[in-house]
Structure 1
Amino acid sequence: MAPRANPTLRQRRLGAELRRMREQVGFGGSELGRLVGMSPAQVTQMEAGKIGISVERLRTIAATCMCVNEPLVAALSDIITEREKPGWWEEYRGTLSEDFVDVAEFEGQARRLTTYSMAFIPGLLQTGSYSSAVFAQTFPPLPRHEIDLRTAFRMQRQRVVRSGTTPYAAFIHEAALRMQFSGPTVLAEQLGALIEDSEQSSVSIRVVPFDVSAMPSSSGTFTYAEGPIPELDAAQVDTSLGCRIFDAPAHVARFRSLLARFESRALSEEESRDFIGSVMKEMESKRA
């Protein structure tokens, strides 16, 4: 079978976990291949997610690498044996950049999502008008059809939240609540939608106000996704050059620590609704 040209996010994650298994026991790719009956090239392609393996081969590799974490091996086996239809995001592969597709898959496969945002309302909570205004601020400017395509894609991503099947928590800095991308009218409508979303049982929205001191430094915007087991958690970070996904244990531990600090210092859900409402009234007064 020819190697995959564009492995999915989960296929790449499977490969990354296999590479970590190998590295933790101190094997090189050639040594592992010799022990499990694979060529060095096959090991490299497997760890890049470009070729698949069977569950039996997975368990052979785990045993050879002395991995005794059965929950992890079982979770990786599930990735191999899943026979579900491709996610809705696959329709956009080749139309939008891989970063957009990866973010949707990242969210769609999570058991729980938590976001921290400092510059704008999190994408999973944006209104269409607000989202379009954010994309319109991209520099160099995007053509109108690209803005519309990205906005439509972002609205489809919100199924994760709207369905209620994936619990979602958002820590939103006050700066994001006040940032205007297209004037006070669009922002006031967005804040009103945010209050409505906060009343869903599966959604938690908490504000980090300016006067909270000694908040930890972070990238500005990131999303933490919980997997079927903690070892398969990951974080996605927005950067000026696209998104990056971190799944190494040290990185994951750092993001967990950041979220714990936000949890202890952000306003409560009720206080946050009141705070958002007060900012919304300010915006409404500016458009009157």
Structure 2
Amino acid sequence: MALRANPTLRQRRLGVELRRMREQANLGGSQLARLLGCAPAQITQMETAKTGISVERLYTIAELCMCTNEPLLNALADIITDRAKPGWWEEYRGVLPTDFLDVAELEGHARELTSFAMAFVPGLLQTQSYANALFTKGLLPLPPQEIDLRTTFRMRRQDVVRSGKTPYSALLHEAALRSQYGGGTVLCDQLTSLVEDSEHPGISIRVVPFEVVGFPLPSEELAHMAGPVPELDTIQADASYGSHLFDSPAQLGRYRATLERIGSIALSETESQDFIRSIMKEMQDRND
């Protein structure tokens, strides 16, 4: 069987969970290979998603590793048997960085989405002009065609929440509402769009004002993609040094708690709408 050249993120996550299952049973790769009656290289290939496995083999491995987490095993079996056509993001493979595709794939399969943004409005809520301004003002200069490509990709990502397919809760720090990446007009349009999005039945937008004191906020922009079971959740953390995905139980627990604490101090949805409108009016008065 030929090895996969470009396994998808879900295929890679299946491999990660297989390795995690084996390690929790204190089995080495060679030990598991002997129990399965295969070569040690096959274990490595399965755990790195270079090759696929059958549902039958999944449950055999689970039995050998004494894993009795039935909801998790059923969710992993669904990944194996998923024969749906490739997601729209696959059109961009080899054209955009893999990180872009991984995030779109996570969002496309998520049960629920939650994010916290401190520096800028999150991508799932950005207007086209705001997104274009962000890519134009990035640390690394990009050619115009690359900026247009990334902006178009970001707009397509928004279908998952604008269609109502996936519930989305966005927590925004006031700083994200005031940063003028594309100038006052672009920001006013973006704030107007946020108010409109906040009225969408599947989108919740809540603001953390500057006046909240004594609460440590993370330095990263965070996104929580809820999987079919909690063990398959993923956290995306964006910082100045790049974007990273986290899926270990300890990391998931830490970031879930962080988002819950931020949610506990954020304004209500109605208060947040009024707050955003007040910033819009302030900017309009300043520009009159």
Q: Which residue of 2 aligns with 1:91?
A: 91
Contact 1:124/1:161 (8 A) holds in 2 = yes
User: What is the TM-score with the length of structure 1 in the denominator?
Assistant: 0.98
Supply the distance in 2 between the matched residues of 1:21 and 1:62 (Cα, whole angstroms).
7
Runs of 4+ in 1 over 6 A off after TM superposition: none
Q: Which residue of 2 aligns with 1:183?
A: 183
Q: Which residue of 2 aligns with 1:60?
A: 60
AA of the residue aligned to 2:135: F
Deviation at 1:139, TM superposition (A): 2.1
Q: How does 1:39-118 map to 2 (within 5 A)?
A: 39-118=39-118
Q: Does 1:242 align with 2:239?
A: no
Contact 2:173/2:209 (8 A) holds in 1 = yes
Q: Does 1:15 align with 2:15?
A: yes
Contact 1:216/1:261 (8 A) holds in 2 = no
Contact 2:174/2:210 (8 A) holds in 1 = yes
AA of the residue aligned to 1:28: G
Deviation at 1:231, TM superposition (A): 1.1
Mind listing any 5+ residue stretches in structure 1 that lack a counterpart? Answer: none
Supply the distance in 2 between the matched residues of 1:52 and 1:223 (Cα, whole angstroms).
28
Deviation at 1:45, TM superposition (A): 1.3
Contact 1:221/1:238 (8 A) holds in 2 = yes
> RMSD of aligned C-alpha atoms?
1.0
Deviation at 1:241, TM superposition (A): 4.3
* Range 180-189 or range 206-215, more displaced: 206-215
AA of the residue aligned to 1:116: F
Contact 2:217/2:262 (8 A) holds in 1 = no
Q: Which residue of 1 aligns with 2:196?
A: 196
Helix, strand or coil for the counterpart of 2:141? coil
Q: Which residue of 2 aligns with 1:171?
A: 171
Supply the distance in 1 between the matched residues of 2:213 and 2:40 (Cα, whole angstroms).
52
Residue identity over aligned pairs, in percent, reads 63
Helix, strand or coil for the counterpart of 1:52? coil
Contact 1:216/1:258 (8 A) holds in 2 = no
Supply the distance in 2 between the matched residues of 1:219 and 1:275 (Cα, whole angstroms).
23
Can you list the C-alpha shifts for 1:66-98, whole angstroms capped at 9, x where unaligned? 001011111100000011000000000000000
Contact 1:14/1:49 (8 A) holds in 2 = yes
Q: Which residue of 2 aligns with 1:231?
A: 231
AA of the residue aligned to 2:232: L
Q: Which residue of 2 aligns with 1:31?
A: 31
Can you list the C-alpha shifts for 1:235-268, whole angstroms capped at 9, x where unaligned? 1112334321111000000111011101211000
Supply the distance in 1 between the matched residues of 2:97 and 2:242 (Cα, whole angstroms).
9
Q: Which residue of 2 aligns with 1:122?
A: 122
Helix, strand or coil for the counterpart of 2:85? coil
Aligned residues: 288
Deviation at 1:214, TM superposition (A): 2.6
Supply the distance in 1 between the matched residues of 2:117 and 2:220 (Cα, whole angstroms).
6
Supply the distance in 2 between the matched residues of 1:68 and 1:199 (Cα, whole angstroms).
43
Q: Which residue of 1 aligns with 2:146?
A: 146
Supply the distance in 2 between the matched residues of 1:223 and 1:286 (Cα, whole angstroms).
33
Contact 1:187/1:283 (8 A) holds in 2 = no
Supply the distance in 2 between the matched residues of 1:31 and 1:93 (Cα, whole angstroms).
36
AA of the residue aligned to 2:244: R
